[in-house]
Every structure is written in C-alpha cells, then in structure tokens.
C-alpha cells in the first residue's frame, strides 16, 4: 500500500541560514511495486493509446521506404536528447551543439560545458537504443551504463552508474528536504524498487505505450540516481517502446512535447503518486490521467517527426538538383543522404560516414560548397570543417515548432526557451 513515511532530517551544517541548518521533519514517498499490478484504464484512454501506437507504426513504415533513414533517425534522436536536457535547464542551440560535437570528434576540447552535458545525454541515449532491440530485456546494467555515460566528465562523475545511497528530493532548499515539493523513497529500498521496475519494463503484459508511460512515471518517483534521473527516465520511454517493436527506426521526440507541456507533465507524474491501495479510485484515476497525457504527447511527436522527415527529404531533393546529376552510389549522393547524421563535419568524418576515399569525399564536398549546400567554418583550434546551414535551420525550426502549444510558432509563440529563429 503506497503512502508517505514521516522521517527526521538531522540538520545540515553547510546551510547558509539557521532554517537550512536546523533539523526538521519530512515525508518520503513509498510507492507500490509494479510487479503483478492491474492497471485498469478507461476505454477513452485505451483508444488514445491505440491511436498513438498506430502513429508510431506509420512513422517507421514511412521511414522504411526512404533512403538514408539512419541519418535522419540520428538527427531526430539528437533533437530528443536536446529536449530532454532542456527540461533540466541545459539550453543550447542546434548550431552550437553541432559545432561542439565536431570539435570533440577532432579530439579538441569544445570548451562549452553546457554543450558537453547535452552531448553526454546524446551518447547515453544512443547507447540505450542501440543496446535494446525487440524482445530484449531492459537489464539494470543498461540503465546504469546510460547513467555513467551521462555523468562522465561532470563534477558528479563519481556517482555515474550507481544507485543513490543518500536521500534526494525535488524542489525547496538544496540543503534539506523540509520544504521539498516531493521526497522520493529512502535509499535503503531503492535497489528493490529499481529491480522491480526493470522486471516490469521487460514484461509484455500491457500495450507498449502504457508500459512505457508507467515505467517512466515509476522511475521518476523512485529517482534512483543522485542526478540525471529525468534524462535517463525519458530515454527509458524509448527503450520500452523499442523492445516492444515500436520506434525502431525513428525515435519520436516525445521529450520535446513534454518540455512544452511542462506543467501538465509534472502534474501527470504527480497524479500517479497515490496514497492507499493500488486498486483505489485515486490510483486508477491518476494513472488514467498520466497515460492519456503520454499518449497525446507521443501522437504529436510522431506526427511532427513525420513532417520534419518530409522537410529534410525535400531539402535533399533540392540539393540533388542544385549539385547536378549524381549516381546513386556516388560520393556526392551518399554524402547528401548522410548529412542529417552530421550537419557539421570534416572531410575525414564525411569519408568515414560514406565509406569513400578522402579524395572522392573532398571532390563531393567541394561540389556541395559550390552549390551553396555546405559552407566552410572553423571548429576548435583552427580546424577546417563544413556545415549545412539549411539543415541546421530546419532542425532549429523543428525544435521551435514543437515548443509552440499549437505546433506552429506563426500561430502561438514558444512556451519555453528555444533557439533563436533562423535567419
């Protein structure tokens, strides 16, 4: 039976004020395990879930018939990772992030700590979606490794890949949980709850989106890590969908939508933290509300990803016309297909991407520069690189559109911090 347990905080000698240093009482939440639970959703929510899952199937089916799907999927994955980071307050524009990534590939220090944290989130999410395929269990070790990658190179690196052994909390003071908005379970029960969560995420008893939504909500309630819970928890949505056969080719940018609906997102998660038995009306209504929001976010993310895919395809078709005739297996054609994966790149990176010689790749890049598709820039310490400005602007417009409550910044302004409008 879920509920709160009253505990006493012994005080924090590092607090700046007496209020922050003094002992106090706080309430920590003890959730029910997920194993063996019966989640009775309303007929309306079940229909919403079916519509959202159908949209994910359509997104993958449309991607299957198109060339360069891997490149486009990587770009959308990057957008999803950026959005998840932005929820945590890490705001960085697409061009800045891509240039930092290019500098890192060259072995240079990007000297941009915010961009590096977002790049670490991309690394963590990429590892997760590459590790978990259809039917694969979501092992605790996978989530721990994602977390290790996320915190690598940060001041909290020593906590990476480890469940917390201390009490954490959300909101209020940084010194004590006395005025916190929510206090997750105490550290001594985190391991059991974490194992139960992974077992639930690896089962097949529920529709994929229902399972993904419930797994995410429970993960955020447990808050198993010292830091990085939100980013790992949102990546977990995609892992659950993938192991159930959805979002295999393109990961819909669900975090971009949830970032736009931040108040509803927090309220939805909070609604799942009921008090009492798991079959109570409060518990049923809370999960109904959360799963409905997750389905709506997933549906919009899939639709917007499909429109963005069409925009990128249109750009690639325009580039082929501007660059001139090219054989399907030519370096030029392969490079145009690969640009969504690396809109900022060097000649050597491009050669690796398309599997062609440096000479052939250089000739193709020169042709794209002459056509105005690539422009030369400097990355890191005087390293020559190239970027595709039209693709970066499309990526930025995609982010901005998803930040609009109406999905269109011409109708409604973005409701959260976003990159500046492309020129």
Mind listing the pLDDT tens digit for each residue in 206-238?
Answer: 999 999 999 999 999 999 999 889 888 988 999
Higher pLDDT, 96 or 254: 254
pLDDT of residue 212: 96
> Residue 421 pLDDT > 80, yes or no?
no
**CA 249/CA 226 separation, integer angstroms:** 32
Mean pLDDT score of the chain: 85
HSE, CB side, 13 Å, CA atoms: give it for residue 386.
21
As a CATH number, domain 3-307 is 1.10.3290.10
Higher pLDDT, 141 or 19: 141
pLDDT of residue 279: 93
**260 pLDDT tier (thresholds 50, 70, 90):** confident
pLDDT of residue 73: 60
> Residue 78 pLDDT > 80, yes or no?
no
The tens digit of pLDDT for each residue in 174-206 reads: 888 988 999 999 999 999 999 999 999 999 989
> Residue 88 pLDDT > 70, yes or no?
no
Residue 197: Cβ within 10 Å count: 26
pLDDT of residue 174: 81
pLDDT of residue 418: 60
Domain residue spans in the chain?
A: 3-307, 308-402
Cβ-proximal residues to 43 (8 Å cutoff; 6+ apart), any chain: none
As a CATH number, domain 308-402 is 1.10.10.10
Instruction: Please give the C-alpha separations between residue 389 and each of 130, 334, 393, 422, in angstroms, as whole numbers.
Output: 28, 18, 6, 9
**90 pLDDT tier (thresholds 50, 70, 90):** low
Mean local confidence (pLDDT), 81-94: 60
Among 75-89, 100-114, 281-295, whose mean pLDDT is lowest?
75-89
pLDDT of residue 371: 95
pLDDT of residue 65: 52
Beta bridge partners of 302: none
Higher pLDDT, 292 or 337: 292
């Amino acid at each position: 039976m879920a509920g709160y347990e009253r505990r006493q905080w012994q005080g924090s000698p590092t607090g700046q004020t007496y209020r922050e240093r003094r002992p106090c009482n706080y309430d920590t939440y003890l959730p029910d395990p997920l194993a063996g639970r019966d989640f009775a959703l309303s007929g309306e929510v079940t229909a919403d879930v079916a519509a959202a899952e159908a949209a994910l199937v359509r997104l993958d089916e449309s991607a299957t018939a198109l060339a360069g799907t891997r490149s486009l999927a990587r770009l959308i994955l990057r957008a999803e990772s950026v959005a998840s980071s932005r929820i945590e307050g890490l705001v960085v524009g697409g061009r800045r992030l891509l240039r930092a990534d290019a500098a890192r590939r060259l072995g240079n220090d990007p000297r941009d700590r915010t961009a590096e944290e977002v790049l670490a989130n991309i690394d963590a999410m990429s590892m997760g979606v590459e590790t978990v395929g259809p039917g694969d269990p979501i092992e605790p070790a996978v989530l721990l490794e994602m977390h290790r990658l996320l915190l690598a190179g940060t001041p909290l690196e020593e906590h990476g890949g480890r469940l917390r052994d201390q009490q954490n909390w959300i909101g209020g003071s940084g010194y004590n949980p006395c005025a916190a908005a929510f206090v997750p379970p105490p550290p001594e029960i985190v391991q059991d709850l974490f194992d139960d969560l992974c077992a639930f995420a690896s089962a097949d008893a529920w529709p994929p989106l229902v399972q993904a939504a419930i797994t995410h909500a429970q993960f955020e309630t447990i808050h198993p890590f010292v830091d990085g819970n939100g980013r790992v928890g949102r990546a977990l949505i995609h892992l659950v969908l993938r192991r159930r056969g959805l979002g295999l080719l393109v990961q819909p940018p669900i975090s971009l939508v949830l970032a736009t609906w931040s108040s509803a997102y927090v309220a939805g998660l909070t609604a799942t933290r009921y008090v009492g038995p798991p079959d109570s009306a409060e518990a049923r209504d809370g999960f109904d509300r959360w799963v409905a929001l997750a389905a709506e976010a997933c549906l919009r993310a899939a639709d917007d990803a499909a429109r963005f895919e069409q925009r990128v395809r249109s750009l690639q078709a325009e580039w082929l016309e501007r660059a001139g005739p090219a054989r399907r297996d030519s370096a030029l054609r392969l490079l145009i297909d690969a640009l969504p994966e690396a809109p900022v790149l060097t000649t050597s990176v491009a050669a690796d991407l398309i599997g062609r010689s440096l000479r052939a790749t250089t000739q193709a890049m020169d042709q794209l520069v002459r056509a105005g598709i690539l422009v030369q820039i400097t990355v890191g310490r005087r390293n020559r690189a190239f970027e595709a400005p039209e693709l970066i602007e499309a990526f930025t417009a995609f982010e901005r559109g998803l930040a609009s409550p109406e999905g269109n910044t011409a109708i409604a302004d973005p409701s959260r911090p976003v990159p500046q409008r492309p020129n």
